[in-house]
Chains A and B, each alone.
Chain A
Amino acid sequence: MTSPRGVLIVGEHTNGQLGAPTLELLAHGRALATALGEELAIALLGESLGGLPQEAIAYGADKVYAVTDPLLKEAHLDAYLGTLVKACEAHAPRIVLLARTELGRDLGPRLALRLNTALAQDCLEVRLDSDKRLVAVRPVYGGNCTAVVTVASLPMMAAIRPKTAEPLPRNPSRRGQVIQEAAGLAPSVIRTRVLQRVQEAQEGLRLETARVVVAGGRGLGGAEPFHKELQELASVLGAAVGATRAVVDIGWVPYSYQIGLTGKSISPDLYVTVGISGASQHMAGCSGAKVIVAINKDSEAAIFKAARYGVAGDWKKVLPAFTKQLRELL
């Protein structure tokens, strides 16, 4: 086998477009490949790929392994895993990067085990040290601590949190190489069967893409304020409504409202929190927010460490007046 070289990233796409996390991953990968003086390759898997390989090149890839197979129609974990194990064995990359998306989060650890290496999970930053070792920075203990880790075996793998890099500018005249490959998947690699996929309609705006988000915590005291006072604020601001895990666990609002480490990641221009303490596991889901505003009766609450503006007071008094004044302004 040739000695490992280059950076390989695992691409993701939906509806004929590369996902935003994949574009960001191309930027991360480009920086590492350039520092190594080696190539940046991307594996794209699907039933058919259309113009995606060229798109990936426009965003920074040197090489595209375009793997098509009917079994890859959906991003099925087992099928992706089988294909990627083969691709990594065939091309022997030095570094493999995934996005820590729903797919990457579950695929990365299994791929690492199959390739007999280790994976740095949920990284915010990746770089090379002077020995060309991959060094990754990642939050641990729910964000209360930060770890710097490295992988001492090849390929060195990392799963990178979305929204930690800006995609490179799209350059349609960039040239690269597209290599068509067959997955050669035996149907027996597929051990799990998807019987049904159910979309649960979300009320209101999508949290992940909303420009303004308002969210409530246990301090709201019950389900009612979510439908009344918080909803009124959301209507005035044209905002999506979210909540903490404490609130969804009690059942005041559905689980789909949960923002945080194990909930949704948001990156609005404005994030207004009401009765939220600011636990690091919650804050992990809103690090992309430009401005955080907090209403909390405890002036010592951790949320005031992350907020730009705040009122230390009872929301029952503060919120109606806040909403009323906003209505007059907007």
Chain B
Amino acid sequence: MPLHVIATAKQVMDPESPPSAYRVDREAKRVVPHPATKIPPVINGFDENGIEAALRIKDAVKDAKVTILAAGPSFSMDVMKKALAMGADEMVLVQDPALDNVADSTVTAKVLAAAVRKIGPFDLIISGRQASDWDNAQVPLGLAELLGVACVPVTRKVEVKDREVVCERILADGYEVVSAALPAVVTVSNELGQPRYPTLRNIMAAARKQPTIWKLADLGLAPADLAPRLLVMDLYIPEKTSQCELIKGENEEDSGRLLALKLREAKFI
């Protein structure tokens, strides 16, 4: 049996959009793009690191299969196909309007756990450390609990050796080497390194692949399973009042000099 790695990937609004690109629909309690700008969808950045980690394992152990798993109300195929073009073998999309604007991580974890069970046996799940919409860093930890397997969060290196996953988990002042028996869940951070670019060959192969698409009903989930317990009461754009004093000298060098004098005058140095 090939080693089966599932990499989770969430489609999110591009988080590198400028603050002015965001608007909030306060009634619906959701973030929407500014009408004049268009925030493009992307695969969550840390999930691209996760796909990279999965592909590195595949490169190392050779006999491995990488399945991409995503859940959401709808997907841009152009965006999601990047995961296949990077080199993943298969993709499962749980696509259901009921997954619109889910803020409760437990709900998402339940959906993903049900999908993982339906996909079948797996050895390792790799997720991003957090999704750049709600920055929760919760879903993979919940997923591990629901599946009853070990969890190693926030790692920068993931290797599989002799039915064990060995990771470098990032700590504030260094790292620790952690191992767990498979199956397990790990999450990765940008310290893992840049995700690879799709090769032409993989892009063409990806174009021919059809993702498997499931609805919630296909997973045997009922609306009651999805009742959120984390409730959003309000959502708004925080006000930022600027009180910056721009220092202008005769030229740029002079501005630098005056800035130093200003800091002294204001007793900050």
Contacts and interface: CB of A to CB of B under 8 A. Distances in A.
Given A106-B141, A195-B179, A199-B174, A151 B230 contact: yes
A192 B152 contact: yes
B133 interface: yes
A192 B144 CA distance: 12
B80 to A, nearest CB: 21
Contact of A317 (B105, B235, B251): B251
8 contacts: A122-B135, A193-B179, A195-B178, A198-B176, A264-B172, A321-B256, A325-B257, A329-B260
Pick from B13, B24, B109, B257 the residue with the most CB of A within 10 Å.
B257
B234 interface: yes
Contacts, number: 256
A110 to B, nearest CB: 5
B151 A110 contact: yes
A263 to B, nearest CB: 9
A191 B149 contact: yes
A182 interface: no
Interface stretch (A27-35, A37-45, A48-56, A300-308): A300-308
B246 A299 contact: yes
Nearest to A197: B176
Pick from B16, B257, B259, B266 the residue with the most CB of A within 10 Å.
B259
Interface in B187-244: 189-191, 194, 228-238, 240, 242-244
A305 B244 contact: yes
Interface stretch (A57-65, A135-143, A165-173): A135-143
Contacts of A139: 135, 238
A270 B269 contact: yes
A237 B149 contact: no
A318 B253 contact: yes
Contacts of B245: 308-310
B104 A198 contact: no
Interface string B139-153: 001101110011111
A303 B127 CA distance: 31
Chain B interface secondary structure, helix, strand, loop or mixed?
A: mixed
Nearest to B173: A199
B189 A262 contact: yes
A114 B244 contact: no
Top-4 shortest CB links A-B? A321-B256, A325-B260, A191-B150, A322-B256
B99 interface: no
A150 B231 contact: yes
Contacts of A114: 145
Contacts of A197: 171, 174-177
A193 B180 contact: yes
A306 B105 contact: no
A302 to B, nearest CB: 6
A314 to B, nearest CB: 6
Contact of A120 (B18, B129, B230): B230
Contact of B246 (A249, A291, A312): A312
B260 A322 contact: yes
A319 interface: yes
Interface string A286-330: 000001011100010010111111111110011111111110011
A281 B15 contact: yes
Pick from A106, A117, A310 the residue with the most CB of B within 10 Å.
A106
Contacts of A200: 173-175
Given A118-B229, A144-B22, A281-B15, A270 B135 contact: no
A245 B22 CA distance: 22
Interface residues of B, number: 86
Nearest to B18: A302
B261 interface: yes
B132 interface: yes
A20 interface: no
Nearest to A306: B240
B229 A309 contact: no
Contacts of A249: 190, 194
Contacts of A320: 253, 256
Interface in A253-270: 255, 261-262, 264, 269-270
B138 interface: yes
Contacts of A317: 251-253, 256
Interface string A85-126: 000000000000000001001101110111001111110000
A152 B229 contact: yes
A149 B103 contact: yes
A319 B242 CA distance: 23
Contacts of B231: 149-152
Nearest to A284: B135
Given A197-B174, A325-B256, A325-B260, A110 B141 contact: yes
Nearest to B144: A110
Contacts of A261: 135
A295 to B, nearest CB: 8
Contacts of A148: 232-235
Contacts of A150: 230-231, 233
B166 interface: yes
B3 interface: no
Interface string A130-162: 000001000111111111111111000000000
B8 interface: no
A142 B12 CA distance: 12
A142 B15 contact: yes
Contact of B261 (A110, A193, A325): A325
A203 B269 CA distance: 23
